[in-house]
Chains A and B, each alone.
Chain A
Amino acid sequence: MQTSQIIIELTVLVLAVFVGFEVISKVPTMLHTPLMSGTNAIHGIVLVGAIVVAGLPHQTTWVRIVALVAVALGTMNVVGGFVVTDRMLGMFKRRREPAAETDEQG
């Protein structure tokens, strides 16, 4: 008997949920904003789906436009998500930097 594809995919889905809860429950409150922007970047994986659809042969112009818009949105999502997370994480320092940024007074 061959397991159907949908069952295999459901298995993958359920395992992914458990892995997700497991790793994310270990993220401290302090890092919840980077967690959100980081997971934001990860759901940019829809870009892969957008590329697949945009790369289908024999499309109508309409579908091609829709798919390319999806590619554009996915790309912004991925690039923006990882860059902003990197920028944020760079701010968390254990000690004050000797050359601290200038005070914003006056």
Chain B
Amino acid sequence: MSRADAVALAYLAAIVAFILALRFLSSPTTAPMGNRIGAAGMVVAVAATFAQEGIHNIPSILIVMAVAAPIGWYAARTVRMTAMPQMVALFNGVGGGAAALVALADFHHVAPEPGRIKADVGISILLSAMIGGISFSGSLVAFAKLQELVSGRPIVYPGQKPLNAALLSAVVAVAIVVLAGPQRQVLVGAVLIGALLFGVLFVLPIGGADMPVVISLLNAFTGLAAAATGFVLHENVLIVSGMLVGASGTLLTMKMGQAMNRSLANVLFGAFGQVTAGPAGTTAAAADGAGVRSTSADDVAVMLAYAKRVVIVPGYGLAVAQAQHDVRALGDLLEARGVDVEYAIHPVAGRMPGHMNVLLAEANVPYPQLKEMDEANPDFPRTDVALVIGANDVVNPDARNNTGSPIYGMPILNVDEAHQVVVLKRSMNPGFAGIDNPLFLNPKTVMLFGDAKASVEHLVAGVKSL
């Protein structure tokens, strides 16, 4: 067996490890082991790469890795769970950037060859540069939005869509020129810079509430960029791993779109949640609070303590207020009194797919209590109190009933089927998408205004004193 074959077999082992890692993610009990198998596969793949024939500069590569690894490790150990979407966006960008740079460096390597670059290699290099570039800059903008370095609101200006389309066409045109004739590195550089610019312009008009979709999509992009790099270097391990990620990102993007009942095009180009947008046909519910019943924490505490079954519906407001630990404390107190407590989690609760589950798991909520939407909905009619904390659009009955509502058709948690509904909310301001919510006017509903954390603390104190 030649050295090249041995390396290829090692890569095959890595591929198997990655697939097992994803397979083991089907259950929280096997997932940690799966992740370690995946990491071991990565170690094998990297070691095999160094064993390839004709790898030079090994000392300088190792030094760079030795410097970079602790940075990644430190960031991963210290990031707060609420900041996970930013972290994932950042890693997406870093991976996309690496793919683009690999393409750039490899183009330089193959360019001086006599005759034209083979079409397959040329196309792959340009795809890797373009997708990697878009993923890099787009992820950085998503990061900046999530970190609130720039406004989470959609940033729109006249002529935005034509401009973006023109830019993308120009980038593609230059790429074709590179393929057809003058293989100037300057032109490849221009493709990369154009792609970087497009990445920025493409994410800017997308609102903060649509971030779960954007992050999933950028995840898919980075996977595709990695796969394209695999075609450049003729490495199957890159092609397979990249496409596994591409499939994952695509699937999540589709699921998020379904959970919001919106097409990908609408998410990307609709600039949902603009301040100026006056969504037509919403119930002209009183934003001034007329018809809304406000209550005190002590009343709610009594209601919860004497209920048989309480379902907590957490939204992003809970995460923003860092109230997940207090909510868990409240849940524990109620359980100690014999109340049946569950958490109903909408797929887009949070800023990335599955985010709320991680936040509650971090707060030490046992995962069997975390119910997905389809599992939670049939049980609302036999629920005494639905406690909605910092969620709005995902419990808006207009999505079911009002054909004129912008969110009509979006699957929601049917909290209005519970015997009583308590909504913890900062104020009567409409939610992120700027849409009225008739749930707040429902006779079953009482509102507890204030900061989510402070309100939950009051509830904890209230239940304790009973």
Contacts and interface: CB of A to CB of B under 8 A. Distances in A.
Interface stretch (B67-75, B155-163, B414-422): B67-75
B95 A43 contact: yes
B239 A16 contact: yes
A95 B61 CA distance: 45
A24 B326 contact: no
B234 to A, nearest CB: 6
B39 interface: yes
A92 B367 CA distance: 6
A34 to B, nearest CB: 6
A90 to B, nearest CB: 6
Contacts of B68: 71-73, 75-76, 79
B314 interface: no
Contacts of A89: 28, 31-32, 35
A78 B38 CA distance: 10
Most A Cβ at <10 Å: residue of B23, B57, B249, B332: B57
B372 interface: yes
Interface string A1-13: 0000110010011
B32 A80 contact: no
B50 A51 contact: yes
B73 A51 contact: no
Nearest to A44: B95
A35 B248 contact: yes
Given A19-B19, A24-B248, A39-B245, A104 B58 contact: no
Given A49-B238, A52-B233, A105-B460, A39 B248 contact: yes
Given A49-B233, A91-B362, A94-B366, A27 B22 contact: yes
A13 B234 contact: no
B26 interface: yes
B367 A13 contact: no
A71 B64 contact: yes
A12 B105 contact: no
Contacts of B428: none
B437 to A, nearest CB: 23
Contacts of B247: 16-17, 19-21, 24
Given A6-B120, A21-B251, A48-B235, A88 B84 contact: yes
Interface string A24-66: 1111111111111111111111111111111111011011101
Given A48-B45, A52-B52, A54-B57, A80 B65 contact: no
Contact of A52 (B55, B65, B368): B55
Contacts of A105: 325-326, 329, 457, 460
Most B Cβ at <10 Å: residue of A6, A27, A66, A97: A27
Most A Cβ at <10 Å: residue of B31, B39, B98, B238: B98
A47 B25 contact: no
A69 to B, nearest CB: 6
A98 B255 CA distance: 36
16 contacts: A16-B247, A20-B245, A34-B358, A36-B248, A40-B95, A41-B38, A46-B229, A47-B98, A49-B233, A52-B49, A71-B65, A77-B95, A79-B73, A86-B32, A97-B364, A100-B364
Interface of A: 5-6, 9, 12-13, 16-17, 19-21, 23-57, 59-60, 62-64, 66-97, 100-101, 103-105
Given A40-B95, A94-B29, 4 more contacts: A41-B91, A42-B18, A49-B235, A104-B326
